[in-house]
Chain A
Amino acid sequence: MSEFTWLDSAVLVVYILAIAFIGARFGRNQHDTRDYFLGGRKIPGWAIGLSVMATQASAITFIGAPGWGFEGGLERLVTFINVPLAMAVLILLLVPVFHRAGIYSIYELLERRFGPVTRSLSAALFLIARGLATGVVLYAPALVLSVVTGWSVNLTIVVMALLAVSYTVLGGISAVIWTDVIQMFVLWLGAIVSMGLMVASLPGGWGDVFAFGAAHDMFDAIDLSFDPTVTYSLWAGLIGGVFLHIAYFGTDQSQIQRVLTSPSIAEGQRSLLIGGYLLVPQMLLFLFIGVMLATYYDQHGLTAPDNLNELFPRYVVSAFPPGLAGLVIAGVFAAAMSSLDSALNSLSAVTVRDFYGRFVRPDASDRHYLKASRWATVFWGLYATLFAFFAGNLGPVIEAVNRIGSWFYGALLGVFLLAILSHRSNARGAVAGLVAGMGAVWWVSSSLSISWLYNNAVGVAVSLGVGYLVSLATPAPSREQLADVVIDESAPDMQALLSRRAAAAHEITPEARLTRRRCFGLLLWFVLLVAGLALLQAVAHG
């Protein structure tokens, strides 16, 4: 077994410098603006989708999912199995409303619909939740650095925080889609190579993996138990998980920002579509690596590290040929930096736009706001660093990120749904719904021992129900407050006008709607995934 050699270190440094160079060279010139609107689009949709995936979860997935799979096999895939359904809801329901409203921060929509208090409360929840989750994201590359260098993880957290905050304040590695795509491929390459190496090191090859996995029920991805205390039952994944991911991808500014800044609704929908298709297979790949690692450790009589997040980085460093280990570790670093950059940027943007620019200095100069956003980045870097010191105690990083979100995002999603789906709901209802939804999640998670996956469903149900009932007891919203969610052309005089224009316009023969067809594809994909897992489970049990 080899260690992290000088060649690995050289590859790591060259890779990081190359990514930074590409970001600096291509991220800030007109190529970026040329892709912004209407014509001259040269970047394919799949690359944009991969770029979104790279920002979302790549480093966390790489580090956390194998540890998860090592411990529980494929059973935890139900946490993600609902992603195609969640993306379909986002594509059909939330993205068109957000895009039509022309907003920079999604919490602005809540102000237009419900008033300033709801916006401030929602933005504050986002800041708290995303700030905590950024601590986990910071912990992930710090752990890798610790494994590579042998330094204490607390020291590497501080080093990573300094690095991440510095380059975010200095302008960051600009969101260059192709560098994100490269990172995704490097991480996938790392996954595939590790599978090959592990299989080659087992006397029985794949047969050993399947025999070990089947003997330890590691391929049991589908648990049909209706018991709500079973954490990873299919129903927890479907009912709870679907709300978890709608809330995570739809109400977290750091996730939805790229959709908001995409030049068209279709573009925003396309990027979510790619995530809808690829996130589950990616998670399956890394969970399966966890199963393979369990087999590998068993066959080689090795003892797993106490912190299972270290499992895969340790394997990469010890088993990969010199140079390739450096490349994969560099990919993890670059992907983590991309996620950190994106998270810190959205935290500082929301701080300045939703709070500082409204309450502290409403009419300051651009230069002043830029300075404020840099200080906000430093503040959120410190906040995340403090939390990162505790992130190692939260178990697998991938679960920690989702658990943190589940305390806040359900109630937030409930309020967004209230804004969009109920034209009767008003400001008092929204605030009451938000507070009650949060309270319900805290009560359920501290008093009942049901699966944490249900937290978001509880938050959504309570905030929607309480919000609607309180709204019924108070005056209905004005027409102006509904402008962002009611179709503009619904007024009777406008209907008559549109009918006159349509009568004089050219006719189009009918055909199925593209957007709906896209979502049918996601639904079909979901069914295929569940069927595939059921088949694997059946085969494993003979």
Chain B
Amino acid sequence: MAERALPWRCDAQAAMARLRRLGAERFEAARLAMWAFTVALPGADPVWLLCHRRLERGLLWPASLATLADDDADERLVLAAEAPPDRQRVARLWFWERLARRGLWRARLSEASPLAVSLPLWLGYAGERRGRRQLLVISGVSGEPLAALKPAVLAGLREDAQRA
């Protein structure tokens, strides 16, 4: 089955402006491979909980997952997927998420197998002048900073460097 992907909605110009405001000096596009678990809502289309072994919490994607275009994947730094996180752990994480946000209470994790999904990101590099590099991660969908993804991105960068 072809890999699924979230769409790029934050273009390079917008990403550059956002990363500049956050203090980045250089930037590049990347895709982080994650696992999408289906979350079923009564009377509505399913939504997706995007998980990664190195993340403490999942990210919710409320729309459909398109198939990743081949040319898109070729252009970006691709941070490879690890094995999907343990299903029991995801189910428990989702329970706490529902308990914390009661608006989500009726949304339940379905039994379907997780799908491989590619999350678009912009990576910013700061700290050139201070001599201590800092990585900034913003969403390629909304442009919002996603610092919680840093452990997964750093692991992906390390793996990419070892492959190279």
- Hey, what's the 0/1 contact readout for A473-517 against B, CB within 8 Å counting as 1? 000000000000001111000110111111111111111111100
Partner of B142, one of A41, A265, A494: A41
- Hey, what's the 0/1 contact readout for B32-52 against A, CB within 8 Å counting as 1? 000000000101110100000
Contact B47 A33 (CB under 8 A): yes
Chain A, residue nearest B104 (CB) = A33
- Hey, what's the 0/1 contact readout for B116-157 against A, CB within 8 Å counting as 1? 000000011100100011110001011011111011001001
Q: Chain B's nearest CB lies how many Å from the CB of A220?
A: 42
Residues of B close to A260: CB separation below 8 A: 100
The stretch from A326-334, A345-353, A527-535 touching chain B is A345-353
How many Å lie between the Cα of A412 and that of B158 in the bound state?
37
Partner of B62, one of A40, A366, A505: A40
Residues of B close to A34: CB separation below 8 A: 62
- Hey, what's the 0/1 contact readout for A238-282 against B, CB within 8 Å counting as 1? 000000000000000000010011011111000000000000000
Question: How many residues of A are counted as interface, with CB atoms below 8 angstroms from the partner's CB atoms?
Answer: 65
Within 8 A of A (CB), among B1-42: 6, 9, 12, 16, 19-28, 41
How many Å lie between the Cα of A96 and that of B150 in the bound state?
12
Contact A37 B61 (CB under 8 A): yes
Contact B133 A508 (CB under 8 A): no
**Known interface pairs A38-B142, A489-B134. Does A508 touch B41 (Cβ–Cβ under 8 Å)?**
no
Residues of B close to A353: CB separation below 8 A: 96, 99
Q: Chain B's nearest CB lies how many Å from the CB of A148?
A: 29
30 inter-chain pairs at a CB distance below 8 angstroms, sorted by A residue, are A30-B45, A32-B103, A33-B107, A37-B60, A39-B9, A99-B147, A100-B150, A101-B56, A101-B148, A103-B56, A171-B105, A174-B102, A175-B101, A175-B102, A175-B103, A261-B100, A353-B99, A366-B91, A489-B133, A489-B135, A490-B132, A497-B161, A501-B123, A501-B157, A502-B25, A505-B26, A506-B16, A508-B20, A513-B23, A514-B22
Contact B133 A104 (CB under 8 A): no
State the main secondary structure of chain B at its contact with A. mixed
Residues of B close to A29: CB separation below 8 A: 41, 43-44
Partner of B26, one of A30, A174, A488, A508: A508
Chain B, residue nearest A253 (CB) = B100
Contact A513 B151 (CB under 8 A): no
Q: Is B82 an interface residue (CB 8 A)?
A: no
Known contacts A508-B20, A508-B24; 6 further A-B pairs (Cβ under 8 A) = A102-B148, A267-B144, A489-B133, A497-B157, A513-B21, A515-B22
How many Å lie between the Cα of A264 and that of B135 in the bound state?
16
**Known interface pairs A33-B107, A502-B133, A506-B26. Does A257 touch B100 (Cβ–Cβ under 8 Å)?**
yes
Within 8 A of B (CB), among A350-406: 352-353, 366, 369-370, 373
Q: Is B87 an interface residue (CB 8 A)?
A: no
How many Å lie between the Cα of A261 and that of B125 in the bound state?
27
Chain B, residue nearest A341 (CB) = B102
Q: Chain B's nearest CB lies how many Å from the CB of A123?
A: 15
Contact B154 A36 (CB under 8 A): no
Chain B, residue nearest A348 (CB) = B99
Chain A, residue nearest B124 (CB) = A508
Partner of B139, one of A38, A99, A257, A503: A38
Q: Which 9 A-B pairs have the closest CB atoms?
A: A102-B56, A502-B125, A32-B103, A264-B144, A514-B21, A498-B133, A505-B26, A505-B28, A102-B57
Q: Is A521 an interface residue (CB 8 A)?
A: no
Contact B26 A104 (CB under 8 A): no
Question: How many residues of B are counted as interface, with CB atoms below 8 angstroms from the partner's CB atoms?
Answer: 62
Contact B26 A507 (CB under 8 A): yes
Partner of B27, one of A175, A266, A489, A508: A508
How many Å lie between the Cα of A265 and that of B102 in the bound state?
21
Partner of B133, one of A37, A171, A373, A499: A499
Q: Is A73 an interface residue (CB 8 A)?
A: no
Q: Is A437 an interface residue (CB 8 A)?
A: no
Residues of B close to A175: CB separation below 8 A: 101-103
Residues of B close to A96: CB separation below 8 A: 147
Contact A494 B106 (CB under 8 A): no
Q: Is A25 an interface residue (CB 8 A)?
A: no
Contact A33 B62 (CB under 8 A): yes
Q: Chain B's nearest CB lies how many Å from the CB of A338?
A: 13
Q: Is B55 an interface residue (CB 8 A)?
A: yes
**Known interface pairs A28-B106, A261-B101, A502-B133. Does A99 touch B63 (Cβ–Cβ under 8 Å)?**
no
Contact A264 B24 (CB under 8 A): no
- Hey, what's the 0/1 contact readout for A8-44 against B, CB within 8 Å counting as 1? 0000000000000000000111101110111111000
